[in-house]
Amino acid sequence: MPAGVGWDGAGNVTLSGALLELADRLDADFVALAAAWGAVEMRFPTLIAAAELERIDYFRSFPHLATYAACLAGDEANVAAFTAGDPVVDGAIRLTQLAPVRHVLTPAACYHLYAQHRGQSFEGPRYFTTKCACFRRETHYIPLERQWGFTMREIVCLGTAQETHDFVREATAAVDAYVAQLGLATRWELATDPFFQASKNPQYLMQRIDPTKHELLYDDRLAIASTNVHHDHFGRAFDMTRTQPDGDGEPLFTACVAFGVERWLAAIIGTFGDDESSWPVIGA
Amino acid sequence: MPAGVGWDGAGNVTLSGALLELADRLDADFVALAAAWGAVEMRFPTLIAAAELERIDYFRSFPHLATYAACLAGDEANVAAFTAGDPVVDGAIRLTQLAPVRHVLTPAACYHLYAQHRGQSFEGPRYFTTKCACFRRETHYIPLERQWGFTMREIVCLGTAQETHDFVREATAAVDAYVAQLGLATRWELATDPFFQASKNPQYLMQRIDPTKHELLYDDRLAIASTNVHHDHFGRAFDMTRTQPDGDGEPLFTACVAFGVERWLAAIIGTFGDDESSWPVIGA
């Protein structure tokens, strides 16, 4: 395990020392990239309402990835029944009746942004950036590379088709320049999202017909960043519109570039080693 | 709602603008306080294993406050059954069979620290600091003041009885000096933790007999910080020892000072108003 990595064996990492500082310095560089568009910083919560994700049919697309925020039903008899037995046996919690589960641990940073701008109309392009703890249940985990909980930095564009297209082109060029400056071996690759029963999902079929996701692969295997063109998918789902010069609003287009912070740590260590004195200048 | 506060009505806050900058500047001041002890920064994950909290009988003490991280049982038939119906009805998720639930959303930052130092012996006092998203289910929520998810900054001392006693005394004085510098009206008050069926819980009775928790109340009502003396409670539960000059190890003593970041925002706004130009100098 690299120095500064604490690993619980179940997909959750603790960072400290030089590696924690590196994570913050990498994020400072991502924020500097976001400044090119004047992106507004947002700090979102961990939990997001299921009702919001339902608007994009999230639970039919990625039910296997979601972590659901469950609490015990609050009546004293139910809680007392929980405490009367052994609440934890072999590490597993013996839950009694649950209260209705209305939230999940957010699986991506930008869903919050669309939910919070629902019903709004925009007169010009808007850019936001956020760093958010995100959660995806996987069948296996690898420290820094594949985690249940991980840190995502996103830059998001809300605009017209042309503006979101331009944003992704410019963001791709900016990321290319950054990885070249660092000296990381990367290449972009077309990708699809990990849909449940993909072949039956119209959204997956759309992604196959009209590719919208590109991943930046480190070492030909590890996606450390991605660009995502959502067309008017989120604009329609969250009733967001873009005012046109000639009058009526049209559905808003959105796009984002996302960075998996811990995976960048893996790429830096993999390329330059554990010793911080051999790392490139980051977060200057 | 103050400018820069997004509120989902269910205990989860989004921060932006001047209020987000204030949150980070307050935290920078807490980190500066921690530097007085040379505290080592740690970045802990959101999820913590139930097996760790079971060591301190957490689930008998605070079962009603916990948020449990639940995932669907992974077999395709179970997930397909989930997607075949309406996964979300009136905002509530209709979960099918769950996989064994082995983690909770961490209710306090310092539990991670004890779990990760389990079985270790220390030759001198050790100081750590961390900022961590924490989660406590409540019956009602108030923006910034009482949240399901909130941000806790902690400074923790691992040492002897005398060292932890000295730490809390020094931390109390440092916090007093800081609130005086800011111009916040506060006072310390003895407090107890919100145990389930408190009168039946030996840990609660111990707190009544031998007070260990003091809260810093803003406006005579809102606890914005606390000091907590744990004696050797965590030392014994996590098998941590302190080497004595005369030979054998003794159970480690621990203590912490905790800051509820969003509540400090409420205290600043409550005292000085929404307009950042009237706020005191913070994070200089």
The β-bridge relationship of strands B149-159 and B126-135 is antiparallel
Residue to mutate among A15, A21, A26, A64, with most B CBs inside 10 A, is: A64
* DSSP, res B188: E
Whether residue A196 lies within 8 A of chain B, CB to CB, comes out as yes
**pLDDT profile of chain A (284 residues), mean per 10:** 94 98 98 98 98 95 96 95 95 97 96 96 97 96 98 98 97 98 96 86 78 93 97 95 82 97 98 96 89
- Contact call for A95 and B8, based on CB within 8 A: no
Q: Which CATH number fits domain A5-46+107-278: 3.30.450.20, 2.40.30.30, 3.30.930.10, 3.40.50.2000?
A: 3.30.930.10
Mean per-residue pLDDT for B12-40?
Answer: 98
A71 touches chain B (CB under 8 A): yes
Provide, for chain B, the percentages of residues in helix, strand and coil under a 3-state DSSP scheme, each rounded to the nearest 5.
Answer: 35, 30, 35
Give ipTM to 2 decimals. 0.95
**Across the interface, do B87 and A149 touch by the CB < 8 Å criterion?**
no
The whole-number pLDDT of residue B205 equals: 77
Confidence (pLDDT) at A204: 80
Q: Between chains, do B16 and A47 touch, taking CB under 8 Å as contact?
A: no
Mean pLDDT of B192-199: 86
- Chain B residue nearest residue A100, CA to CA: B92
The DSSP code for B198 is: G
Check: CB of residue A169 under 8 Å from CB of residue A269: no
B214-230 average pLDDT score: 97
Residue B58 corresponds to which tokens in the numbers above?
A: 């957490």
Which residues on B lie below 8 Å from A71 (Cβ)?
Answer: 66-68, 137
Strand partners, B89: B92
Q: Using one digit for the tens of pLDDT, what is the confidence trace for B224-244?
A: 999 999 999 999 999 999 987
Tell me whether A97 touches chain B (CB under 8 Å): no
pLDDT tens digit sequence for B32-80: 999 999 999 999 999 999 999 999 999 999 999 999 999 999 999 999 9
Query: What integer best gives the mean pLDDT of chain B?
Result: 95
Sort out which chain A residues have CB atoms less than 8 A from B105's CB and list them.
46, 69, 105
**Among B6, B23, B88, whose Cβ lies nearest the Cβ of A116?**
B6
Inspect the interface and report whether the beta carbons of A70 and B70 lie closer than 8 Å: yes
Dihedrals phi, psi of B185, to nearest 5 degrees = -85, 110
A-B interface: how many C-beta pairs under 8 angstroms? 194
Q: Which of A22, A44, A58, A68 to mutate to test the interface with B (most CBs of B within 10 A)?
A: A68
CA distance B59 to chain A (A): 6
Confidence of residue B31 (pLDDT cuts 50, 70, 90): very high
Task: Please answer yes or no on whether B14 and A101 come within 8 Å at the CB atom.
Answer: no
Distance, in Å, from the CA atom of A21 to the CA atom of B95, rounded to the nearest integer, reads 40
- Average confidence (pLDDT) over B188-197: 89
pLDDT at B197: 87
The CA R_g of chain B, rounded to the nearest whole Å, is 21
Q: How far is CA A157 from CA A12, A110, A126, in A?
A: 30, 10, 6
Please write down the HEC assignment for all residues of chain A: CCCCEEECCCCCEEEEHHHHHHHHHHHHHHHHHHHHHCCEEEECCCEEEHHHHHCCCHHHHCCCCCCEEECECCCHHHHHHHHHCCCEECCEECCCCECCCCEEECCCCHHHHHHHCCCCEECCCEEEEEEEEEECCCCCCECCCECCEEEEEEEEEEECHHHHHHHHHHHHHHHHHHHHHHCCCEEEEEECCCCCCHHHCHHHHHHHHCCCEEEEEECCCEEEEEEEECCCHHHHHCCCEEEECCEEEEECEEEEEEEEHHHHHHHHHHHHCCCHHHCCCCCC
List of chain B residues whose C-beta atoms are within 8 Å of the C-beta of residue A75: none
* Mutate which: A13, A14, A126, vs B, most B CBs within 10 A: A14
The pLDDT-based confidence of B278 (bands split at 50, 70, 90) is very high
> For a pLDDT cut of 90, what percent of chain B falls above it?
88
pLDDT, residue A4, reads 95
What CA dihedral angle connects A234, A236, A239 and A242, to 10 degrees? 90
CA distances from B32 to A81, B36, B210, B283 (A): 45, 7, 31, 9
B64 burial type by CB count under 10 A (0-12 exposed, 13-18 middle, 19+ buried): buried
To 5 degrees, how large is the angle CA B94–CA A109–CA A29? 165
Interface check for B112 against chain A (CB to CB < 8 A): the answer is: yes
Q: DSSP assignment of B10-78, as one string?
A: SS-EEEEHHHHHHHHHHHHHHHHHHGGGTPEEEE--SEEEHHHHHTTTHHHHSTTT--EEE-B--SHHH
Residues A101-119 as b/e (b if ≥16 CB within 10 A, e otherwise) read bbbbbbbbbbbbbbbbbee
- Can you say how many angstroms the Cα of residue A256 is from the centroid of all Cα atoms in its chain? 10
How far CA A132 is from CA of A78, A138, A235, A263, in Å, comes to 34, 19, 21, 15
Given the DSSP bridges, would you call strands A88-89 and B68-70 parallel, antiparallel or unpaired? unpaired
Whole-number Å distance between alpha carbons of A252 and A113? 13
Kindly determine whether residue A91 and residue B102, on different chains, have CB atoms separated by under 8 Å: yes
A265, amino acid identity? L
Break chain A into its structural domains and give their ranges: 5-46+107-278
Q: How far is the C-alpha of A19 from the C-alpha of B244, rounded, in Å?
A: 33
**Rounded to a whole number, what is the distance in Å from the CA of A86 to chain B's nearest CA?**
9
Spatial distance between the Cα atoms of B93 and A271, rounded to a whole number of angstroms: 43
Strand partners, B223: B217
Cβ-Cβ contacts under 8 Å for B223 (sequence gap 6 or more): B191, B215, B216, B217, B260, B263
**Residue listed under structure tokens 């064996």:** A9
- Most A-contacting residue of B55, B67, B128, B262 (CB-CB within 10 A), to test interface: B67
